[in-house]
Amino acid sequence: MPHQRMTRLGYGTLKDENSKQLLNMSEFLLKFMPNLIVYEERKVKAKGLNSENKVNEEKLKEYFFEEDYQRLSLLDNLPKITLNTSSITLLYPGCGVDLFTPLIYLDKLFLQVTEAKLIFVDENQDLGLLKTLLDEVGVSFEEKKNILRFYWEEKLISLEFQEGEISQLLPEFPPFNLYFEKAFRIMREHIPDYEKDILNKLSVGGVIISDTGFENADLESFNAPKELSTYGEMIIGRKKK
């Protein structure tokens, strides 16, 4: 970042001493650190379910670094995955505000799925930001407490956000047929028996999608390209028994 004189004027407001422009924090970050993706929560109204929703792809791309978004097209060359039901449950621990990646995986790989319950877990309360993100890409939703329902590329999604620590919440969850993990490697290293507990809760025939680990699990591999993981360890595999 070039040397820049800024004056802090009050909570969240800065003055660029060169241009005398007033900037709020996200304007500041975008102006001087253009490679950052800035998430800013807005108050968003639940406008209800709309099966005609079209996802605004240009807006969607703004929430990815260009090379990461392009890398997702590697999924187009993978075989499509079928599960033994068209109505599935997916668990995503340490989701943060990463709403779009699991939705893109669902859209590209699980063509037969028509309804998905997504259980998103994070120690931080991210529900407000998730609502903002849906609104940003033009997807309207219905809201009941911590559950958002919306259509994503014709799949009916019911997203339940659970604030808390995954090892404490996991025993309470129903079994799931899909486990999704991204950028959670360091955090889950501290959780004893993490993979074993996840595999126990995953239904037989269910699928693990993770950018790390599970190399010793008894999974039928779908040979996912390793470039899909920033750690170079991508696994997409089905639980055999």
- What are the residues binding ligand SAM (CB under 6 A)? 93-96, 98, 121-124, 165-166, 182-184, 187
- Pick between residue 10 and residue 192 the one whose CB is nearest to ligand SAM: 192
- Pick between residue 69 and residue 85 the one whose CB is nearest to ligand SAM: 69
Length of the chain: 241
Calculate the CA 155 to chain-centre distance.
16
Q: Which long-range contacts (CB under 8 A, 24 or more apart) does 146-149 make?
A: 148/46, 149/49
- Pick between residue 14 and residue 234 the one whose CB is nearest to ligand SAM: 234
Query: What is the maximal distance between C-alpha atoms in the chain?
Result: 65
- Pick between residue 16 and residue 163 the one whose CB is nearest to ligand SAM: 163
Q: 179 is written with which tokens?
A: 């486990």
Written as one letter, the residue type at 44 is V
> Least distance to ligand SAM from the beta carbon of 95, Å?
5
> Least distance to ligand SAM from the beta carbon of 123, Å?
4
> Least distance to ligand SAM from the beta carbon of 12, Å?
22
- Pick between residue 97 and residue 139 the one whose CB is nearest to ligand SAM: 97
> Least distance to ligand SAM from the beta carbon of 119, Å?
12
Helix (H) or strand (E) holding 81: none
Q: 119 is written with which tokens?
A: 């259980």
> Least distance to ligand SAM from the beta carbon of 94, Å?
3
- Pick between residue 83 and residue 183 the one whose CB is nearest to ligand SAM: 183
Contact 163, 210 (CB under 8 A): no
> Least distance to ligand SAM from the beta carbon of 182, Å?
4
CA 30 to CA 34: how far, in whole Å? Answer: 5
Q: 192 is written with which tokens?
A: 């004893």
Residue bearing tokens 């990815």:
64
Torsion of CA 27, 101, 227, 113, to 10 degrees: -160
- Pick between residue 13 and residue 167 the one whose CB is nearest to ligand SAM: 167
- Report angle CA 131, 135, 140 to the nearest 5 degrees: 90
Closest CA to 98 of 71, 60, 66: 60
> Least distance to ligand SAM from the beta carbon of 61, Å?
16
